[in-house]
């Protein structure tokens, strides 16, 4: 995997946002329908992992793409600096606790991959320790898929120039000041280190059952279109079906008609 060979401004021949709006809307409606069927079927779950550098668009992807799903069967799990309790356990403990139940979609905003990214870049654990985590992550994700949890992982790929433009928008918009931190700028000094860490993580941990997708994300609308398409096509491939009813529908229908017939409110 070489991220410098993938254009973060790639648009797949589309000229602008307007050319993709209708398709994005169609995927959003289809995603809503498929998530409803996943919830009703209650046989499998979906884990969506979002990774990327600061201002890469993780929150925007959740809001504009995945926000169309019913929150009754969907939740977002952020991964920030580990708490004392989380740090007292193995690095996968907090991730495993947050994985989806059957019938549920869970979006990881950052994820267990932070433990082969930030800890590596800032030398927080020995190299021998974080290198061993690639196999541990693969085993963890294999365990999930063996238990009917499907996994999609998206790396939101932006250029350093686009990141700086997004930082400026935050500075110019008082409603976004709360998102600004000192690390937004200090971490830019480690850009190449993070690129190398991501390349190794993507190379070691993209498997058939839990693939990584590199999403060109300089254009937010293209990012939304690409992620929508991949999630929809993945859910459609599951060939889900609604479960059989647990009651006799005809008997229930007869009771309904009787109640309606004798109801003082019936017309």
Q: Where are the domains of the chain?
A: 3-262
Strands 212-216 and 105-109: unpaired
pLDDT of residue 164: 94
Tokens standing for 149?
A: 């949890």
Of 50, 32, 4, 24, whose CA–CA distance to 222 is shortest? 24
| 136, 92 contact by CB (below 8 A) | yes
Task: Name the pTM for this structure.
Answer: 0.94
pLDDT of residue 265: 67
pLDDT of residue 66: 84
Q: In sequence order, what are the beta bridge partners of 154?
A: 50, 213
Other CB atoms within 10 A of residue 252 CB? 11
In CATH, which superfamily holds the domain spanning 3-262? P-loop containing nucleotide triphosphate hydrolases (3.40.50.300)
Q: CA 162, 77, 44, 66: dihedral to nearest 10 degrees?
A: -40
pLDDT tens, residue order, the chain (267 aa)? 999 999 999 999 998 888 899 999 999 999 999 999 999 999 999 999 999 999 999 999 999 888 889 999 999 999 999 999 999 999 999 999 999 999 999 999 999 999 999 999 999 999 999 999 999 999 999 999 999 999 999 999 999 999 999 999 999 999 988 888 888 888 999 999 999 999 999 999 999 999 999 999 999 999 999 999 999 999 999 999 999 988 888 988 988 888 888 777 665
Report phi then psi at 254, rounded to 5. -60, -45
pLDDT of residue 247: 87
């Amino acid at each position: 995997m070489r991220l410098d060979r993938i254009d973060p401004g790639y648009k797949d021949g589309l000229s602008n946002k307007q050319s993709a709006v209708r398709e994005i809307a169609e995927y959003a409606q289809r995603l809503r329908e498929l998530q409803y069927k996943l919830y009703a079927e209650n046989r499998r779950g979906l884990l969506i992992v979002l990774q990327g550098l600061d201002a890469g668009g993780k929150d925007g992807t959740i809001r504009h793409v995945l926000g169309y799903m019913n929150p009754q069967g969907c939740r977002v799990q952020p991964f920030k600096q580990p708490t004392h309790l989380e740090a007292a356990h193995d690095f996968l403990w907090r991730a495993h606790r947050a994985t989806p139940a059957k019938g549920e979609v869970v979006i990881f905003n950052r994820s267990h991959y932070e433990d082969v990214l930030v800890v590596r870049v800032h030398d927080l654990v020995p190299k021998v320790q974080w290198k061993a985590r690639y196999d541990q992550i693969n085993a963890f994700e294999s365990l999930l898929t063996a238990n009917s949890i499907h996994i999609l992982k998206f790396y939101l790929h932006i250029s350093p120039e686009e990141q700086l433009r997004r930082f400026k928008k935050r500075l110019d918009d008082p409603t976004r000041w709360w998102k600004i931190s000192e690390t937004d700028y200090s971490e830019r000094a480690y850009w190449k280190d993070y690129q190398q860490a991501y390349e190794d993580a993507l190379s070691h941990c993209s498997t058939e059952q839990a693939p990584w997708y590199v999403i060109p994300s300089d254009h937010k609308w293209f990012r939304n279109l690409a992620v929508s398409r991949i999630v929809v096509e993945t859910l459609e491939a599951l060939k889900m079906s609604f479960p059989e009813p647990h009651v006799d529908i005809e008997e229930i229908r007869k009771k309904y008609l009787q109640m309606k017939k004798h109801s003082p409110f019936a017309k």
